[in-house]
């Protein structure tokens, strides 16, 4: 990504565009974790995902509330390459027979792990399941031969995400502004997704 020196001030966006501020975070050694138990009736498991499973959980965790859409833009064949890559691992939390979380760890860059996607559906938020899932992410990432574990979040994501990552031991190190087409206007996401962010 190119570094561009922007002058202070406001910049008008054309109609149909969205702008978000991205915060990048990292850790260079395993963070200390606080032991938590899963709430009764919730189980943790690794998943060998199909495209249909992934699109469903991705939508329910992030697309409808937080405008996750990068993976939704990919054709099935291209998404399938990621899902079948042995260097990418997928986990979920299951409640009442339904998967309600997405944890995706990407080890495709040597010596690093990216926390590519992390989130819960509404039934698990506030139950302590998120802390359990993050503990699993940290332990599994650092069980590999890495020197860096990293993640990024943006201003269209959950307002709790950035503080949660910092509490989990990640340190912010960079910000960027990203401008893209509004995915609700291009048909990538339904028009009613994330109604708290108006389409213009």
Position 89 pLDDT exceeds 80: yes
Place of tokens 């910000």: 175
* % of residues, the chain, pLDDT over 90: 90
**Residue 3: what pLDDT?**
73
1 vs 173 pLDDT, higher one: 173
Q: Mean pLDDT across the stretch 81-110?
A: 97
128 vs 170 pLDDT, higher one: 170
Specify the DSSP class assigned to residue 31. P
Position 120 pLDDT exceeds 90: yes
Q: Mean pLDDT across the stretch 67-75?
A: 96
pTM for the structure as a whole: 0.94
Confidence of residue 174 (pLDDT cuts 50, 70, 90): very high
List CB contacts of 61: < 8 A, sequence separation 6 or more: 68, 101, 102, 117, 119, 120, 121
Confidence of residue 39 (pLDDT cuts 50, 70, 90): confident
List CB contacts of 152: < 8 A, sequence separation 6 or more: 22, 23, 24, 25
Residue 61: other Cβ atoms inside 10 A: 24
Specify the DSSP class assigned to residue 28. S
Position 1 pLDDT exceeds 70: no
Position 2 pLDDT exceeds 80: no
Beta bridge partners of 22: 154, 176
* % of residues, the chain, pLDDT over 70: 99
**Residue 4: what pLDDT?**
74
Of 31-40, 80-89, 150-159, 166-175, where does mean pLDDT reach its minimum? 31-40
Q: Which domains does the chain have, with CATH numbers?
A: 19-34+42-181 (3.40.630.30)
Position 151 pLDDT exceeds 90: yes
Average pLDDT, the chain: 95
Of 3-7, 79-83, 100-104, 121-125, where does mean pLDDT reach its minimum? 3-7
Rg of the chain on CA atoms, in Å: 17
């Amino acid at each position: 990504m190119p570094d561009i020196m922007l002058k202070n001030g406001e910049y008008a966006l054309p109609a149909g565009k969205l702008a978000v501020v991205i915060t990048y975070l990292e850790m260079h050694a395993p963070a200390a974790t606080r032991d938590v138990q899963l709430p009764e009736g919730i189980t943790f498991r690794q998943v060998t995902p199909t495209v249909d499973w992934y699109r469903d959980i991705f939508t329910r965790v992030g697309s409808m509330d937080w405008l996750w859409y990068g993976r939704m833009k990919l054709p099935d064949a291209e998404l399938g390459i990621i899902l079948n890559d042995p260097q990418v691992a997928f986990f979920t939390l299951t409640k009442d027979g339904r998967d309600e979380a997405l944890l995706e760890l990407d080890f495709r860059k040597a010596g690093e792990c990216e926390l590519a996607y992390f989130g819960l559906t509404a039934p698990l938020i506030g139950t302590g399941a998120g802390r359990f899932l993050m503990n699993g992410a940290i332990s599994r990432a650092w069980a590999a031969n890495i020197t860096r574990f990293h993640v990024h979040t943006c201003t269209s994501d959950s307002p709790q995400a950035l503080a949660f990552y910092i509490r989990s031991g990640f340190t912010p190190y960079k910000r960027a502004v990203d401008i893209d087409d509004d995915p609700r206007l291009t048909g990538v996401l339904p028009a009613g997704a994330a109604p708290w962010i108006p389409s213009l």
